[in-house]
Structure 1
Amino acid sequence: MPESLSINEFASFNLAILVYFLGVRLNKKIPFLNRFNIPEPVSGGLLVAFVALLIYLGFDKEIGFSLKSRDYLLFCFFTAIGLNARFSDLAKGGKPLLLLLFLTVGYMLLQNIVGTGIALAMGLPTGFGLLGGTVSLVGGHGTAIAWGPKLVADYGVPGAVEIGAATATLGLIAASLLGGPVGNYLIEKRGAKPAADRPEEAPMIGIESDREGGTSVTHTGLMRSLLVLNIAIGLGVWLQEALKTWFGLDLPVFVVCLFCGIVLSNTVPALFPKMTWPARSRSLAVLSDLALGIFLTMSLMSLQLWTLAGLAGPMMLILAAQILVAGLFIVVVLFPVMGRDYNAAVLGAGFAGFSLGATPTAIANMTAVSKHYGPATQAFLVLPLVSAFFVDLANAVIILLFLDG
Structure 2
Amino acid sequence: MNIEFSKLGIVLNFDMIGTLAIGLLSLYLGYYIKGKAKFLDKFGIPAAVIGGIVFALVHLVMRVGNIGAVEFNTTLLNPFMIVFFATIGLGSSVEGLKKGGKLLFFFWLLASFMTIMQTTIGVSIAKATGINPLFGVLAGSVSMTGGHGTAGAFGQTVEALGVSSGLSVALASATFGLVSGGLIGAPLGFRLIKKYGLKPEELINREEIAIEENSNKRISAESILKHVAVLGVIMTLGITLSTFVSKKYGIALPPYVGAMFVAIIYNNLNERLNVIEMDRNLIEIIGEVSLNVFLSMALISLKLWELASLAVPIFLILIGQVTFMWLYTRYIVFRVMGKNYDAAVMVSGMCGFGLGATTNAMINMGEVSNKYGYTANPYLIVPLTGAFLIDMVQIPVIVTAINLFS
**TM > 0.5:** yes
| Cα deviation, residue 255, structure 1 | 2.0
Counterpart of 1:134 in structure 2 is 137
Counterpart of 2:147 in structure 1 is none
CA distance in 2, matches of 1:49, 1:234: 33
Superposition pairs of residues 318-337 of structure 1, within 5 angstroms:
318-330=317-329, 332-334=331-333, 337=336
Identity between Structure 1 and Structure 2 (%): 24
| Cα deviation, residue 307, structure 1 | 1.0
**C-alpha distance after superposition, 1:30-63 (max 9, x if no partner):** 1221233322222222222212211222235332
Higher mean displacement: 70-79 or 136-145:
136-145
Counterpart of 2:348 in structure 1 is 345
Paired letter, 2:58: V
Of 233, 236, 247 in structure 2, the residue corresponding to residue 234 of structure 1 is 236
CA distance in 1, matches of 2:32, 2:266: 39
**C-alpha distance after superposition, 1:207-237 (max 9, x if no partner):** 455xxxx433222222222221112111111
Of 32, 38, 54 in structure 1, the residue corresponding to residue 45 of structure 2 is 38
CA distance in 2, matches of 1:97, 1:62: 50
Q: Secondary structure at the match of 2:44?
A: coil
Counterpart of 2:212 in structure 1 is 206
Higher mean displacement: 317-326 or 343-352:
317-326
The answer to whether structure 1 residue 104 and structure 2 residue 112 are counterparts is yes
Superposition pairs of residues 34-113 of structure 1, within 5 angstroms:
34-93=41-100, 95=102, 96-97=104-105, 99-109=107-117, 112-113=120-121
Aligned pairs, number: 371
Q: Secondary structure at the match of 2:62?
A: helix
User: Relative to structure 1, is the Cα distance of residues 220 and 377 closer, same or farther in structure 2, using a 3 angstrom cutoff?
Assistant: farther
Paired letter, 2:233: I
The answer to whether structure 1 residue 20 and structure 2 residue 27 are counterparts is yes
CA distance in 2, matches of 1:40, 1:111: 27
Paired letter, 2:137: T
Paired letter, 1:177: V
RMSD: 3.8
Paired letter, 2:293: I
Paired letter, 2:124: T
User: Relative to structure 1, is the Cα distance of residues 141 and 284 closer, same or farther in structure 2, using a 3 angstrom cutoff?
Assistant: closer
Counterpart of 1:10 in structure 2 is 17
| Cα deviation, residue 164, structure 1 | 5.1
For structure 1, the residue ranges without an aligned partner over 5 or more in a row are 151-159, 354-361
Paired letter, 2:81: L
CA distance in 1, matches of 2:35, 2:43: 12
User: Relative to structure 1, is the Cα distance of residues 320 and 198 closer, same or farther in structure 2, using a 3 angstrom cutoff?
Assistant: closer
| Cα deviation, residue 327, structure 1 | 4.8
Counterpart of 1:255 in structure 2 is 257
Paired letter, 2:36: K
CA distance in 2, matches of 1:247, 1:368: 42
For structure 2, the residue ranges without an aligned partner over 5 or more in a row are 1-6, 143-150
| Cα deviation, residue 105, structure 1 | 3.1
Counterpart of 2:179 in structure 1 is 177
TM-score computed with the length of structure 1 as normaliser: 0.75
CA distance in 2, matches of 1:276, 1:147: 37
CA distance in 2, matches of 1:56, 1:193: 55
